[in-house]
Structure 1
Amino acid sequence: MKILVTGAAGFIGFHVCKSLLSHGHEVLGLDNINNYYDTSLKYARLGMLGVAEANASIFNKLSSSSNSHGFRFVRLDLSDKESLLALFQDEQFDVVCNLAAQAGVRYSLENPSAYIDSNIVGFLNILEGCRHNNVKHLVYASSSSVYGLNKKVPFETSDSVDHPISLYAASKKSNELMAHTYSHLYGFKTTGLRFFTVYGPWGRPDMAMFLFTKAILNNQPINVFNRGKMERDFTYIDDITEGVVRIVEDNYTKQYDSKPLYKVYNIGNNNSVKLIDFIEAIEQKLQVKAQKNMMGMQPGDVERTWANVDPLIKDYGYSPNTTIQEGVDAFIDWYREFYNV
């Protein structure tokens, strides 16, 4: 298939591109390479995808680069409607995997307009591109943040998600509603994936795994929010990638046409891990005791997340099987090699 992956220079997008290429698909990666975090990491990911001399100097607006392995890259912002729709018309994608978004709960308190431009306007442009160019299936990133103040665990997609507590969460719930509308009106499949705390090699520098590892190795204290009384459904990147790719490739299966036009799934580890236990796994690998700066609850945060992924197991054979210690070890091995620590 010819597949568009947005957010290709991002953490999950990079891994999804890599997997799809290994399966023989033609992949066009799109990213605006914004400066939400260190862009050198984004360029390094593109380099791993075979984009020659991946650095800021060669990527101007709408410039592209390709290699012999079926991967092409275009630098483009989803809010640029005219250029995005032209790309859809020129390429005629079979499937679109929209992983581009302005991420981060806490950052949405500082720069709310970035979330509207990318997550609302940008997503609408993606839907319009699919609608007008016969895209068979749109797979898109939602977030566990949509569950907001829900107390019942594990979280199920049948739960009410009418109480988001961050603009990021509200933007992701909006994406689900927009996708439902377009599936209903225009008859193409949309599948939303509520990601639960993804971590692993090539991860984002603003995520806990990265922040904790960096601080401990530099003999600096780590900020432990809610005094460590947090629980997260930490999910290793390889498990996430395997699930995403199964859904993207679903067009090949006999069951594809019998599945509903619109569906939302949780995609997580099917388990809730205490933050303190997660920190202990890092300490175990580094053989260093962390200096903990115990802090209160942060605005927009929730105390606990836990995904019920039974529907994804039933429909796609999804099977997260990476233990926390295995995942933490793999991330730290990558971190030490990449940063020469």
Structure 2
Amino acid sequence: MTLLVTGAAGFIGSSVAKALLDRGEQVIGIDNLNDYYDPALKRARLERLTAAHGNAFTFEQVDFGDQAALETFAASHKFDRIVHLGAQAGVRYSLVNPQAYVRSNLMGQINMLELARHREVDHFVYASSSSVYGGNDSLPFRVEDRVDHPISLYAATKKSDELMSESYAHLFRLPMTGLRFFTVYGPWGRPDMAMWIFTKALYEGRPLQIFNGGDMRRDFTFIDDIVRGVLACIDGPPADDGGIKAGGSKSPHAVYNIGNHRSEELMRMVGLLEQATGRDAAYDFQPMQAGDVRDTFADITAIQRDHGFEPSTSIDEGVPRFVEWFKQYHRID
């Protein structure tokens, strides 16, 4: 099987591509390698894939938000399934550069849906986000919950992606799976995520900027667990049998939470970082950021039932593994 993976230089995209390659699949990766964070990290992820898998992995720098560029790329490639993990990420950056989210997450999504439709792929798997739950205060978040009150533009684009995908699944009977990721962390992670920011600050002796006085909880999900869940979903496209799919769809379109099903206090994560780095933290407490939420907590009943997903990595194990990778990557003694 040949799979097209978008965002192949990203954190989740490169990790999923590696797992697919490890089990013998052919992977075509695309990414625009933008400078939202250091492109050197993105290139290092790609080098890891190329070094280990040679001709089984093909990469091209393509902006899927550019319809003409995507069509030019696709004209010379064949693939059976699409794993669309590329997006403009980040809640706070959407307050600064909203156009980037419209281009990548809205235009990009419709461009990829059109590609999937005309290629008649077996399955279209795409990234959504726990951000779609907005200010919901009923925990844990369930895929059946209403998600029509986003509190950030990023969340609004991700909910829009789900709606567009539902319409394509209905109109063209195209099997689709949307994945609402919950605070993914681990080796080869993203520099804009709290765990990376805090670890860097600890090693540099700077105070940690903590929002809402530290009164926040997150469903931290280790990258290895995420990858296992994504692969299980790739291998199990929703059937077009008229039944109700996860998320309430009657089309061949399922939406799942993919999290750890544990909501951890932010300050407990900080304590684990202190232990792993051997550094004591100083704090710069700040009010809640616009567009942010206090708590996240994934109900994973649907993905457990349909795909046997069982996350196994607690933050007690995952945080030290991230810090060890961080030290190696940055050559910290």
Same fold (TM > 0.5): yes
CA distance in 2, matches of 1:282, 1:79: 37
Shift, 1:89, TM fit? 4.0
1:274-295 Cα distance to aligned partner (Å, 9 max, x none)? 0011101111112221111111
Secondary structure of residue in 2 paired with 1:301 = coil
1:136 aligns with 2:122: yes
Question: Partner residue of 2:249?
Answer: none
Shift, 1:305, TM fit? 0.4
Question: Partner residue of 1:203?
Answer: 189
CA distance in 1, matches of 2:4, 2:179: 17
Q: Any gaps of 5 or more consecutive residues in structure 1? A: 53-66
Question: Contact (CA 8 Å) 1:96, 1:135: kept in 2 or not?
Answer: yes
Question: Contact (CA 8 Å) 2:257, 2:298: kept in 1 or not?
Answer: yes
Question: Partner residue of 1:83?
Answer: 69
Moved more, 280-289 or 129-138: 280-289
CA distance in 1, matches of 2:156, 2:15: 26
Provide TM-score, normalisation by structure 1: 0.92
1:153 aligns with 2:142: no
CA distance in 2, matches of 1:88, 1:186: 20
Question: Contact (CA 8 Å) 1:21, 1:69: kept in 2 or not?
Answer: no
Shift, 1:79, TM fit? 1.5
Shift, 1:154, TM fit? 0.1
Shift, 1:250, TM fit? 2.4
1:237 aligns with 2:242: no
Moved more, 203-212 or 284-293: 284-293
Moved more, 299-308 or 280-289: 280-289
CA distance in 1, matches of 2:202, 2:54: 41
Question: Partner residue of 1:124?
Answer: 110
Q: Any gaps of 5 or more consecutive residues in structure 2? A: 246-251
Count residues in correspondence.
Answer: 324
**1:1-341 paired onto structure 2 within 5 Å:** 1-50=1-50, 68-250=54-236, 260=245, 261-341=252-332
CA distance in 2, matches of 1:93, 1:84: 14
CA distance in 2, matches of 1:141, 1:312: 15
Secondary structure of residue in 2 paired with 1:91 = coil
Provide TM-score, normalisation by structure 2: 0.94
CA distance in 1, matches of 2:169, 2:78: 19
Question: Contact (CA 8 Å) 1:21, 1:27: kept in 2 or not?
Answer: yes
Determine what percentage of the aligned residue pairs are the same residue.
50
Secondary structure of residue in 1 paired with 2:137 = coil
CA distance in 2, matches of 1:127, 1:143: 18
Q: Which runs of 4+ in 1 moved over 6 A?
A: none
State the AA in 2 paired with 1:298.
Q
Secondary structure of residue in 1 paired with 2:236 = helix
